[in-house]
A and B are shown apart, each in its own frame.
Chain A
Amino acid sequence: MIQIACPYCGPRDEAEFAYRGDATVHRPAEEAGFHDYVYARANPRGWHLEWWHHTGGCRAVLKVLRHTATHEVRAVGLPADRPEPPSA
């Protein structure tokens, strides 16, 4: 079970959240960037910055740094936060 420490609600199980994928995607200003915006997603085996929506709780959209092989959650923040992957 993945546990996400919601900054508002405290630690909650993954079942309370809706996963919204890659949090590094940005809406481009130019039409040229739209292919990547719609289809290209980071898919690392390792640290992944991703959106989790606390739909079953406070409804906040959270930015989570999670490892895709161990499932370890390293950081949970608000959309403006910029958690850095551990350098090791």
Chain B
Amino acid sequence: MRYSGLRLLTQAFAGNTGWKPAWRDTAPKSSYDVVIVGGGGHGLATAYYLAREHGITNVAVLERGRIGLGNTGRNTTIIRSNYLLPENHNFYEWSLKLWEGLEQDLNYNAMVSQRGVLNLFHSDAARHAAARRGNAMRLDGIDAELLDRAQVAEFCPLIDLDNARFPVMGGLLQRRGGTARHDAVAWGFARAADRRGVDIIQECEVQGIETEGGRVTALRTSRGRIRAGRVGLAVAGSTSLLAGMAGFEVPIESHVLQAFVSEAVKPLVHAVITFGAGHFYISQSDKGGLVFGGGLDGWNSYAQRGNLPAVEHVFAAGVAMMPALSRLRALRSWGGMMDMTPDGSPIIGLTPIQGLTMTGGWCYGGFKATPGSGWCHAWTIAKGEPHPLNAAFTLDRFRQGRLLDERGAGPFAWAQ
């Protein structure tokens, strides 16, 4: 069923009785050409692009729970491509371009909103770093603007420019950055993949990975054994566990990251604003809630829930950046499981097991990567080798000393 304005209208008059489920809830077959593990945005996008770009449709996505309830449904929905390193910004820019055409492509309203992402800075050193990053982006054709104090004040009047400890000196703005509706991204990819023949299998936990002579052959799941010569992992914070099932190690730690939403208010923050002096970023959802978050709780966790010290830190940083926030009530808080890599960049590509590929190590920033990750992962599965866009995101780059260390801060910089 195609979605359109006309369909909405006719359904309105038909009492909305004619809508069909957006995707089939199927039982697993005993064998597929490709099985994707993980029904988050990355897994669903991988399946979709396998079908659309490479004509591979005998594909199943196995999800342990219900699709989109992992990090895809828990993140703060920021999309952007304002990275320093060419490997990073070119990949994320491709992803951003896919976002720009996504809704037409999927025939699904993912509420992609290019409202701008502004990174504030508070010192000369940080200004230089922002200018350097912006220039690196522009050299590769990506939009970036350096705002001074007055322009920041005009762009977002709520920001306290004169905080005693962290006066704002300006900001790096990417106008094409913004937000998208997280659930809709999972549902949109699921529906579009389903329409091309992909089986989406929920409540199906992968419990073992079978290999023969270094090749993947089958998966043992809570719904039986499923044979597949090609398997793609897209399991976010569970990457270490799935790699362990296949007998290899990944340089990943699973950590908890929290996010928050306030009561709904009138339009207040019209872009995504990030604080440069502490862990804090904020945007406003279309419902009116302010959506915000900060840094990791800081210790290994598979629990999808965090603790109060991180909450206190986030709120303190938020009030330092926008004092007016102190008048708001927080409505909800939640946590997700981040797969943190030593250099903070992802891993998309081949693994030591033949036929087994992965997209993971997304740290706290993989939502924006969803279409790009799925696109590159699908390419890697179809061709048996990475696309140039994900060629640098290898698993063995740590052994080779080819780190993608955005901040130049050394291994596990996020843990310092």
Contact: B309 with A69, CB < 8 Å?
no
A43 to B312, alpha carbons, bound, how many Å? Answer: 27
Give the Cβ gap from B280 to chain A, nearest Cβ, in Å: 18
Contact: B303 with A19, CB < 8 Å?
no
Total chain A interface residues with beta-carbon distance under 8 A: 23
Contact: B411 with A13, CB < 8 Å?
no
Contact: A39 with B398, CB < 8 Å?
yes
* Chain B positions within 8 Å of A69 at CB level: 301-303
Give the Cβ gap from A77 to chain B, nearest Cβ, in Å: 17
A22 to B300, alpha carbons, bound, how many Å? Answer: 9
For residues 11 through 52 of chain A, which have their beta carbon under 8 Å from a beta carbon of chain B?
Answer: 13-15, 19, 21-22, 35, 38-41, 43-45, 48, 50
* Chain A positions within 8 Å of B312 at CB level: 15
A71 to B304, alpha carbons, bound, how many Å? Answer: 11
* B240, B302, B308, B415: residue with the most chain A Cβ atoms closer than 10 Å: B302
Of A2, A35, A40, A44, which contacts B307 at CB under 8 A?
A2
Identify the closest chain B residue to A45 (Cβ).
B302
Contact: A35 with B300, CB < 8 Å?
no
Contact: B303 with A40, CB < 8 Å?
no
Contact: A38 with B299, CB < 8 Å?
no
Binding-face segment, B68-76, B138-146, B250-258, B265-273: B250-258
Contact: B251 with A40, CB < 8 Å?
yes
Give the Cβ gap from A38 to chain B, nearest Cβ, in Å: 6
Contact: B309 with A39, CB < 8 Å?
no
Identify the closest chain B residue to A64 (Cβ).
B299
Query: 19 A–B contact pairs at CB < 8 A?
Result: A13-B309, A14-B299, A19-B298, A19-B299, A19-B415, A21-B412, A21-B415, A35-B399, A38-B398, A39-B398, A40-B249, A40-B251, A41-B253, A45-B238, A50-B299, A50-B300, A66-B299, A68-B300, A69-B302
Other than the given A45-B241, A69-B302, 12 more pairs (CB < 8 A) read: A1-B307, A1-B308, A1-B309, A21-B300, A38-B398, A41-B251, A50-B300, A68-B300, A68-B303, A70-B303, A71-B301, A71-B307
- Which B residues lie at the A interface, using CB under 8 A? 238, 240-241, 249, 251-254, 298-303, 307-309, 312, 342, 398-399, 411-412, 415
- Which A residues lie at the B interface, using CB under 8 A? 1-2, 13-15, 19, 21-22, 35, 38-41, 43-45, 48, 50, 66, 68-71
The 6 A-B residue pairs with the shortest CB-CB distance in the complex, in nearest-first order: A15-B309, A43-B240, A39-B251, A45-B302, A19-B299, A39-B398
